């Protein structure tokens, strides 16, 4: 798989204009009919850059990670370094919008270099992109225009600091807008929670718990065709609990039934529920129930 270490080599491959800055590229369709059209197709590729782009009028499907995304409706998309990208000639990239691409080293030595790792949406699949309201879109475009002004001006000692500040503001707004999207898509969130619980139930009933241990969140997310980070963020927003906490709830609920069987030791119960270490099972149980498995057994004997 081809990997691009520099921003310029990545943009050259995409057949996009050379960047004004060796580690930053800003393309904005304002004032023109559409952004420059990149190469018609590409096998899987990776690069060392972050990309934030607003696609308004795009048709076709792009592979991002293991997910296909239909761009027809348009969205604000966040792509992290080393994500796998692939598309074919059915994708039409002539669109209004913008695209900001910057090498991860552009952030070195800044506070944003640490903050950006906390923005979970860079780990979302593209089909979990942010859909902006007209008002939100206008706010985002104003920030991008401010970045573009600094990008096009002659670089001085303050340029990078101002651009980094604007990028930080853009990401904070994105986080706010994602919170709104989680709320507005409450029905979809409920569907995800129902699907997640169904997947857990199927896993437990199938007997895989003894054979494979506690279910892997990534595997469950893949079966649901969502990213692990998006699933966790959605469930956290909807229920106040993370995916791991939901799994533990399921396990402890089952543990309470098994613990009432007097012929099984605490260790046997732990191993039956997929815990590698009985001590870890006891900690999880006590955290959830406020008492140890042994105390629970005595209480309900």
Question: What whole-number distance in Å separates Cα of residue 120 and Cα of residue 134?
Answer: 23
What integer pLDDT is reported at residue 129 of this predicted model? 72
What confidence tier does 289 reach under pLDDT thresholds 50, 70, 90?
confident
Cβ contact 36:170 at 8 Å:
no
More confident residue, 87 or 282: 282
Instruction: Tell me how many degrees the CA angle 138-122-94 measures, rounded to the nearest 5.
Output: 55
Whether the predicted pLDDT of 143 surpasses 60: yes
- Cβ burial of 104 (10 Å; 0-12, 13-18, 19+) is middle
More confident residue, 110 or 299: 110
Cβ contact 88:62 at 8 Å:
no
Domains and CATH numbers, the chain: 2-184 (2.60.120), 187-299 (1.10.10.60)
What integer pLDDT is reported at residue 23 of this predicted model? 94
CA distances from 30 to 25, 119, 142 (A): 15, 27, 11
Residues 239-274: tens digit of each pLDDT: 777 888 888 888 888 888 788 777 888 998 888 888
CA distances from 253 to 103, 204, 259, 267, 289 (A): 47, 12, 10, 17, 10
How many Cα atoms sit within 13 Å of 273 on the Cβ side?
29
Q: What is the mean predicted confidence (pLDDT) over 204-233?
A: 79
Task: Fill in the DSSP letter of residue 242.
Answer: -
Q: How many C-beta atoms surround the C-beta of residue 156 within 10 A?
A: 10
Q: What is the mean predicted confidence (pLDDT) over 80-104?
A: 77
What integer pLDDT is reported at residue 62 of this predicted model? 56
How many Cα atoms sit within 13 Å of 22 on the Cβ side?
3
Q: What is the mean predicted confidence (pLDDT) over 222-246?
A: 79
Q: What is the mean predicted confidence (pLDDT) over 221-250?
A: 79
Residues 170-205: tens digit of each pLDDT: 999 998 888 777 666 554 555 777 778 788 878 877
Q: What angle do the packed helices 134-152 and 159-184 form, to 10 degrees? A: 170
Whether the predicted pLDDT of 162 surpasses 90: yes
Whether the predicted pLDDT of 94 surpasses 70: no
DSSP letters spanning 88-103: -TT-B---SEEEEEEE
CA distances from 182 to 36, 38, 185, 221, 298 (A): 33, 32, 5, 17, 43
Residues 31-86: tens digit of each pLDDT: 554 455 567 778 889 899 999 988 764 455 555 544 454 444 457 888 889 887 87
Task: Calculate the average pLDDT of the chain.
Answer: 80
């Amino acid at each position: 798989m081809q990997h691009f270490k520099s921003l310029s080599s990545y943009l050259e491959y995409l057949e996009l204009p050379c960047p004004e800055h060796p580690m930053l590229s800003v393309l904005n369709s304002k004032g023109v009919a559409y952004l420059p059209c990149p190469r018609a197709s590409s096998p899987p590729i990776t690069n060392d850059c972050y990309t934030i782009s607003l696609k308004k009028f795009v048709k076709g499907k792009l592979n991002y990670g293991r997910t296909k995304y239909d761009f027809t409706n348009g969205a604000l998309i966040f792509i992290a370094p080393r994500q796998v990208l692939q598309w074919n000639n059915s994708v039409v990239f002539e669109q209004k919008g913008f695209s900001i691409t910057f090498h991860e080293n552009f952030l070195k030595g800044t506070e944003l270099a640490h903050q950006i790792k906390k923005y979970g949406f860079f780990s979302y699949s593209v089909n979990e992109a942010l859909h902006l309201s007209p008002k939100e879109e206008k706010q985002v475009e104003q920030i991008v225009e401010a970045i573009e002004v600094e990008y096009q001006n002659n670089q001085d000692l303050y340029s990078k600091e101002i651009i980094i500040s604007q990028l930080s503001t853009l990401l904070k707004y994105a986080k706010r807008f994602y919170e709104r999207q989680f709320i507005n898509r409450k029905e979809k969130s409920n569907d995800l929670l129902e699907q997640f619980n169904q997947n857990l139930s199927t896993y437990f009933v199938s007997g895989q718990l003894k054979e494979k241990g506690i279910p892997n969140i990534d595997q469950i997310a893949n079966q649901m065709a969502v990213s692990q980070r998006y699933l966790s963020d959605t469930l956290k927003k909807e229920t106040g609990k993370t995916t791991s906490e939901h799994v533990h709830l399921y396990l402890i609920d089952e543990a309470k039934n098994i613990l009432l069987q007097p012929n099984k030791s605490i260790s046997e119960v732990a191993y039956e529920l997929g815990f590698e270490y009985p001590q870890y099972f006891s900690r999880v149980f006590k955290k959830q129930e406020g008492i140890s498995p042994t105390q629970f057994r005595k209480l309900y004997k």
